[in-house]
A and B are shown apart, each in its own frame.
Chain A
Amino acid sequence: GDSVTQMEGPVTLSEEACLTINCTYTATGYPSLFWYVQYPGEGLQLLLKATKADDKGSNKGFEATYRKETTSFHLEKGSVQVSDSAVYFCALRSPYSGGSNYKLTFGKGTLLTVNP
């Protein structure tokens, strides 16, 4: 079945440091890939997505590129801020989970803490 593996945290960085959170997946066909962010006390929010190979999703300075050859979708940011402290989830949606469902498969989440 579909699965998502992302690097375990917690990750602690200083402000303005570079961030990479690795994410790899296993799926049949060509899934859509997502990064969600969960700020303390809030629900998950879509951060960025990519729907086909070589697509790059980007938002709020974060970016991730859909790499079919390595089945990866690593999240990167060149300079993190304290406000980026949150839990980040990598997820996929199988092309076969359409119809009325559009089910998502999530990784375990990575807690990022950015210190001033």
Chain B
Amino acid sequence: GAVVSQHPSWVICKSGTSVKIECRSLDFQATTMFWYRQFPKQSLMLMATSNEGSKATYEQGVEKDKFLINHASLTLSTLTVTSAHPEDSSFYICSARALLDRAEQYFGPGTRLTVT
């Protein structure tokens, strides 16, 4: 149980375009989802926290207009990278906190974004 999926697993897009990444909790309801960014040989950096039905809370230094987060249901959150640039190329990971196990976070496998 407690499986989180991400789609796509990897994506290549051109500069200036937007790309959407989905994060789904497959077998549980998630009140909160987290979006992280991971650079090579670096730690996971929390970008934002999203609660179902409300606006996401962004960490300091993260542009909310560039990284749009929607958490429309208890099983789906999306991250849209708008007007992507090569410096947005990274590994994006989501995690979900279960409704019934509020302290535990379950992580997705990540999405590799390459902007050319």
Residues of A near any B CB (own CB < 8 A): 4, 32, 36, 41-46, 89, 93, 100-109
Q: A100-B51, A101-B32 are in contact. Are A43 and B4 (CB under 8 A)?
A: yes
Inter-subunit contact A108/B105 (CB<8 Å): no
By beta carbon, the residue of chain A nearest B31 is A100
In whole angstroms, how far apart are the Cα atoms of A89 and B104 in the complex? 15
Give the top 7 A-B pairs by smallest Cβ distance, nearest first.
A43-B107, A44-B107, A43-B109, A108-B43, A106-B43, A106-B44, A43-B108
Q: A104-B46, A108-B43, A109-B43 are in contact. Are A43 and B31 (CB under 8 A)?
A: no
Q: Is the interface of B mostly helix, strand, loop or mixed?
A: strand
In whole angstroms, how far apart are the Cα atoms of A98 and B104 in the complex? 12
Inter-subunit contact A102/B97 (CB<8 Å): yes
Inter-subunit contact A44/B93 (CB<8 Å): yes
- On chain B, the residues within 8 Å of A42 by CB distance are 109
By beta carbon, the residue of chain A nearest B45 is A106
Inter-subunit contact A102/B105 (CB<8 Å): yes
- On chain B, the residues within 8 Å of A43 by CB distance are 4, 6, 93, 106-110
Inter-subunit contact B102/A102 (CB<8 Å): yes
In whole angstroms, how far apart are the Cα atoms of A108 and B95 in the complex? 17
- On chain A, the residues within 8 Å of B105 by CB distance are 46, 102, 104
